[in-house]
Structure 1
Amino acid sequence: MGNIFGNGQQHEEQDGQQEVRRQQGEQRRQQEEQRRQQGEQRRQQEEQRRRQEEQRRQQEEQRRQEEMRRHEEEKVAALKKEVINLFNGQQLLLLGHYGVGKSSFINTVNHVLNLVQPNVPYQELAELSARESDHGTLIYRAYGPRKKMYMALKESDFSAKQDFGPIFFDVAGVNDKIVNEFDLKQFLIHLVNGQVKEYTDMVRIYNREDQMEQMRDESKVDNLRAWSIICLVSVADAFPTRLLQHVDQALKELKVQPGGGARVFVILTQSDKINQQERERTVEDYRKRCSQTLGVVERRVFQVENYVMREWRDDVRMEKNLEKENQVLIALNHILQPANEPDFLEQ
């Protein structure tokens, strides 16, 4: 009996010890789970702080970007006012190879200098080359605010100077055959002198179906006379050496004529077609070559990216590209300035 009682007591003690150990293990497990939960809570709190910090950073970056954009918009608006104050009915002749963006440049200027509602152009838009033939523009056209005004607008919406903004003469694009075989120099002289009538069929002229001798007898018309020549050069195409040489020769001959002469500028287009690594080097190379070929200072050579055709057709109220607008306005601010420097570099 004593052994039996002793064994039972021993078993109870062992069971009690096991229960204590089980409870201690459970307690340690609960403590471990509590530490895990506390660690997870700290991790969540840290993640929440990180997200809040990232949100604050993004908000700060957004405010910085908005501030920068407001600053750029203010600069563009101020420059636009400077350009509008220069309006004096300047008559500008656009030249260039087919497809370099002459008509697109007119449309881009129209959009940038929009003086009315953002979805209503203030001047007639030039027809784009994709709508035309291999020569792009077919006829000699003038585009500008004098050509078309929206009569629904009140007179107070336009100042006197704004009514006489720049007029662009859009010439059919040339190709290598025309440059090499056509008397382009003499034709340029007729264009600058105002001896080529508006709506002249340029393709017939280029194909020699209409003789230029008839133009020699045409009277010079002041509202068709070009004050300045703007050569558009695509930096994505071969450099137009022969075309610029014709322009240079025509300008020098015009310079010696009574009342003759015209200023010359260059617009470099389509830089967006060149990869980012080569773009800056290519633009600077073309800028120097244009300056040397025409004998003009480099500050008369400007880089401009036109708004592309799909932007015009999809939505004329497209978001403004401030970089493009700044490029156009910088160019116009120089082109529309009164002549205050020699036309040519010292030879």
Structure 2
Amino acid sequence: MDEQSMENSESDLNLELETLRKRVIKAQKPLTIAIIGQHGCGKSSFLNTVMAVLRGEYHENALVGNFEDEGEHVTRRLTRYPKTRYLDESSVEDFTQKWPTFVDMMGFQNAGDEGVRKILDSIINGCFKDGTKLNTSLRNKRDVVDFLQQFYYGEEISRKVDRIIFVASAISKELPCELIRALVSQAMDGRRDVPIFGVLTHADKAEERDPDFEEKFKRSLGLNDQRFLLCSNYCDNIPPQENRVPRVEVPIARFLQQVLNPSRHVFQEKPDFVEYVRRLINVPLKVVLEYALFLLFFFLFTMKDFLPFLFILVLTMLLTKFSLMLSLHFWPENLNLGVGTMLRDARSNDFKQDSIFMKACVFSSSTGMLVCIIAVEVLLFLLWCGKGKSKNRQKSPELDISEPVMENSVAVVSFSERNKDLHLKIARSVISSFEIYQVYLGGMTNISTIGLPSKVCLVFVDKNERNIILETDVDVSRTRASFVEGQIKKGRTQVIVIYCQHAGSHNMTRLYDRSLGNINKQETLRQLQRQNRVLSIDTEFSDYQSNHLKTILNEALC
């Protein structure tokens, strides 16, 4: 804790709170602020402290804690905290003002793969409702549904994130570079650039802090001093008290003034969506009809199933004729007018008040005709694709499908670029007479489909704070688990998982440390453990583990 924060008094706190209140009064709308960071960095504690600053007293709104041995999250769902959830209407002055909405969520791992980027993009653009399980949304991968949610939900504008606060622990040993790069790329993608702020918690543990960590953190997020905060939270070494603690709350109140500064704008492209659609479909109406009939006859005479397409053809002609008759009745002189122009004019206010009925008819008939044509063409295309696939399935027995030739070699797989050389060195200590391939999988996509030519694969996982060897269902990113599960499913490579740099596994007389709860909790690890293919080490194998590995390698490769 720096000297300035130690000198903060209650009068300083009152002054900063008054300045903060004025910022809220000047706000044009309630800002949505997302709190993002790794698991165990103090996100929820920081959020509770922020709410205590705004409310005037501490409450555990966001659940705090972790299950380190089991690798579990306390915060599992995306949770929104509007002012009604953290302010008391009867005790807070200016309750009716536009106080911000905070978004809390489960912690991310230090990963920047496609799944993490997709989740971050959806959070920033307000695609998730309150209470959404982020890991479930990632596993379902309903890309189209997630995209349409932005247009379907009525509150999508209020759910879009206006500020991002990235939280990390000042006593962390390693900067979450992969996660930070993923966040910055999604928050500053050019479509909607959202201001990013940074917070380092555990400022009170100065003796455990790396002096260079703060500068690395600020550089990685592109922060200046106004968008950075080094603070302590309630529930760390500073328990909540009945009286306010100025040395905790004053720095946070000053930081919130910068976060809520109305001069910081979210840059967002504002394309004229209606004009874009109008230009896209602005072709003469008769051309649309001619094109639709041409495609209809083309599919009809290239298919043998005549009767279903004849029925569709007749139905389409009847619907088209009805739509045309309705349009010509109200607007006979404008059949050659572009469809996009018709839709634009029909929804505009250029008509007189007595023509509202005509506007409704023209708009409904034109839109209905387009919808019918598109639906018919999509149906015909799907039927055509289905017929082509059925033909391919009939010919498939004639194809010569052969299994790839597997090599008598060992693949050494790493997910950390910094430690891949250490992994190779550890592997060479037990592999002397077989060829070794080094494989680095950091940042790769579709990782479950990767195929290896080696008969044996040593998967190295580095020590992490939650002792997660392979991710479970509660984790957002499942990079390591997806890779291992993919190799086991293929059944061509024998997989051995090695958890390394774990101090409790130094010179063991068994294969792994029994206190690692993830081995018993993760289904794939349980399967490998029953086959004696899970090991935990420090920086080298013990004699017992080395002999065990040599036995497996000799049986598989000799």
**Distance verdict in 2 for CA 1:203–1:341, change over 3 Å:** closer
Shift in Å, 1:223: 1.8
1:173 maps to 2:117:
no
Q: Write the deviation string for residues 220-248 of structure 1: whole angstroms up to 9, x where unpaired.
A: 50121110110001111121111111111
2:23 is aligned to: 86
Paired residues for 1:5-16 under 5 Å: none
1:199 is aligned to: 131
Output the CA distance in 1 between the equivalents of 2:143 and 2:203: 35
> Higher helix proportion, which one?
1
Output the CA distance in 1 between the equivalents of 2:87 and 2:169: 32
Shift in Å, 1:197: 1.3
Paired residues for 1:131-170 under 5 Å: 134-147=72-85, 150=88, 153=90, 158-159=93-94, 163-170=97-104
Output the CA distance in 1 between the equivalents of 2:184 and 2:20: 27
Name the SS of the counterpart of 1:229 in structure 2.
strand
5+ unaligned residues in a row in structure 2: which ranges?
Answer: 1-5, 268-558
Larger RCO (CA under 8 A, 6+ residues apart): 1
User: Contact (CA 8 Å) 1:192, 1:225: kept in 2 or not?
Assistant: yes
Name the SS of the counterpart of 1:318 in structure 2.
coil
2:145 is aligned to: 214
Shift in Å, 1:327: 1.6
After TM superposition, the score normalised by the length of structure 1 is 0.64
After TM superposition, the score normalised by the length of structure 2 is 0.41
User: Contact (CA 8 Å) 1:83, 1:329: kept in 2 or not?
Assistant: yes
Q: Write the deviation string for residues 323-344 of structure 1: whole angstroms up to 9, x where unpaired.
A: 111121121111111235999x
Partner residue of 1:236 out of 171, 178, 195: 171
1:269 maps to 2:201:
yes
Output the CA distance in 1 between the equivalents of 2:256 and 2:135: 29
Which deviates more, 128-137 or 96-105?
A: 128-137
User: Contact (CA 8 Å) 1:103, 1:128: kept in 2 or not?
Assistant: yes
Amino acid at match of 1:336: L
Output the CA distance in 1 between the equivalents of 2:82 and 2:266: 27
Larger Rg computed on CA atoms: 1
Partner residue of 1:286 out of 203, 213, 234: 213
Output the CA distance in 1 between the equivalents of 2:234 and 2:198: 18
Which deviates more, 318-327 or 238-247?
A: 318-327
5+ unaligned residues in a row in structure 1: which ranges?
Answer: 1-67
Partner residue of 1:224 out of 159, 162, 169: 159
Percent of aligned positions that are identical: 21
1:247 is aligned to: 183
2:14 is aligned to: 77
**Distance verdict in 2 for CA 1:297–1:172, change over 3 Å:** same
Shift in Å, 1:294: 2.3
**Distance verdict in 2 for CA 1:332–1:150, change over 3 Å:** closer
Output the CA distance in 1 between the equivalents of 2:231 and 2:182: 23
2:50 is aligned to: 109
Amino acid at match of 1:215: D
Amino acid at match of 2:202: Q
Q: Write the deviation string for residues 121-180 of structure 1: whole angstroms up to 9, x where unpaired.
A: 5xx8112234897123110001132336546x27xx53155x43121100210123xx24
Shift in Å, 1:101: 1.1
Shift in Å, 1:195: 1.0
Shift in Å, 1:213: 4.5
Q: How many residues align?
A: 251
RMSD: 3.0
**Distance verdict in 2 for CA 1:84–1:174, change over 3 Å:** same
User: Contact (CA 8 Å) 1:194, 1:225: kept in 2 or not?
Assistant: yes
User: Contact (CA 8 Å) 2:112, 2:178: kept in 1 or not?
Assistant: yes
Paired residues for 1:3-42 under 5 Å: none
User: Contact (CA 8 Å) 1:251, 1:261: kept in 2 or not?
Assistant: yes
Output the CA distance in 1 between the equivalents of 2:215 and 2:265: 19
Partner residue of 2:224 out of 297, 317, 324: 297
**Distance verdict in 2 for CA 1:342–1:109, change over 3 Å:** closer
Shift in Å, 1:80: 0.9
Name the SS of the counterpart of 2:130 in structure 1.
coil
Name the SS of the counterpart of 2:85 in structure 1.
coil
1:15 is aligned to: none
Name the SS of the counterpart of 2:150 in structure 1.
coil
1:329 is aligned to: 253
**Distance verdict in 2 for CA 1:196–1:289, change over 3 Å:** same
Output the CA distance in 2 between the equivalents of 1:127 and 1:185: 25
User: Contact (CA 8 Å) 2:126, 2:157: kept in 1 or not?
Assistant: yes
Name the SS of the counterpart of 1:266 in structure 2.
strand
